[in-house]
Amino acid sequence: MIIITQPTVTDAQIDHIVARIEEFGLRSQIMRGESRIVIGVLGPDELIREKPIAAIPGVESVVPVMRSYKLVAQENGTPPPPVSIGGVPFGSGQRVVLVSGPCSVESREQLLSIAKSVKKSGARVLRGGAFKPRTSPYSFQGLGEEGLRLLAEVRAETGLPVTTEIMDTRDLAMIEKYTDCLQIGSRNMQNFALLKEVGRSKLPVLLKRGFSATINDLIMSAEYILSEGNPNVLLCERGIRTFETMTRNTLDLNAVPILKAKTRLPVIVDPTHGIGLRDFIPQMALAAVAAGADGLMIEVHDEPERARSDGEQALRPAVFEDLVRRVRAVAEAVGREA
């Protein structure tokens, strides 16, 4: 950390700043410039970060030199290992992986028919919610464990690995029995108890960005999971709330190259929730591939008008099939494949 002192700082204040730093168990190095005095603070990163150095009289600002997300951060020179969901690798650098399925698991017939069609079109992972985070307590909340059983059955029948949302730490052991990946939804991105719990799981975690979270907040939530010992995290940009009212959310594609540059984790984009309007999901999916996404998560329903959640933003299977063709073309144009 570097301390920039106020232009009016006195020698007595400098002595006081140095004394405080030493009291904290840290070392200091004073650099006197033409118009400013700058003090370098040396010592263990954790110790420096916790100290209220900016509150010492005479200090104008403090500039951290270490990143606060050391596990998630990109390591110089070494390409990060891909993160796999049920044997399907994400973040290999080359492949754009498609995750698709309904918003909610509704019945065996519904899930199986959607799974078969998205697999035929090129999806490699099946999604489906058994525990649904709904704005209203009176809306469909998901089939619970029955929904998980259906996911496992459809996985056995199609060979597609599955991802499903976990909302409650108490459900972890049960959900782990049925799924290949634990999804943390937007509303729970900063549920730190849940992050720590999935951080102790052997399964990969698909962490969706909170709709009011900054890119840094998302990175720090991933750091929680890694700090508990689970390195297998996939980040998902799914749109944030802005002043725009024409769309459900604003898909922040800025996050894709930034997360790719700053972290070692695969980055997936969910254009379905990102824009929330069925007619414009394909365009945003293609833009996400061009922006460098390692995967796409897209909701598909064979009867959107009967869907128990998010029917208005579900693609019909034929539209998804056509989209996959175009995803492949864009991927190829940017030196990748899908």
**Per CB under 5 A, which region of 99-107, 135-143, 289-297, 300-308 contacts Mn ion?**
99-107
**Contacts with ligand PEP in 50-109 (CB under 6 A)?**
103
Residues in region 209-248 near ligand PEP by CB under 6 A: 238
Q: Supply the minimum distance, in Å, between the C-beta of residue 250 and ligand PEP.
A: 13
Residue 165 as a binder of Mn ion (CB under 5 A): the answer is no
Size of the site for Mn ion (CB under 5 A): 2
**Binding characters for ligand PEP, 13-52, by CB under 6 A (x = yes):** ----------------------------------------
Q: What backbone torsions phi and psi does residue 102 show, to the nearest 5 degrees?
A: -75, 165
For Mn ion, which residue of 310, 317, 324, 331 counts as binding (CB under 5 A)? 310
The residue (of 62 and 268) whose beta carbon lies closer to ligand PEP is 268
Q: Is 133 in the site for ligand PEP (CB under 6 A)?
A: yes
Span 250-279, contacts to ligand PEP by CB under 6 A: 273
> By the 8 A CB rule, do 97 and 134 touch?
no
**Would you tell me which residues interact with ligand PEP (CB under 6 A)?**
103, 129, 133, 185-186, 208, 238, 273
**Would you tell me which residues interact with Mn ion (CB under 5 A)?**
103, 310
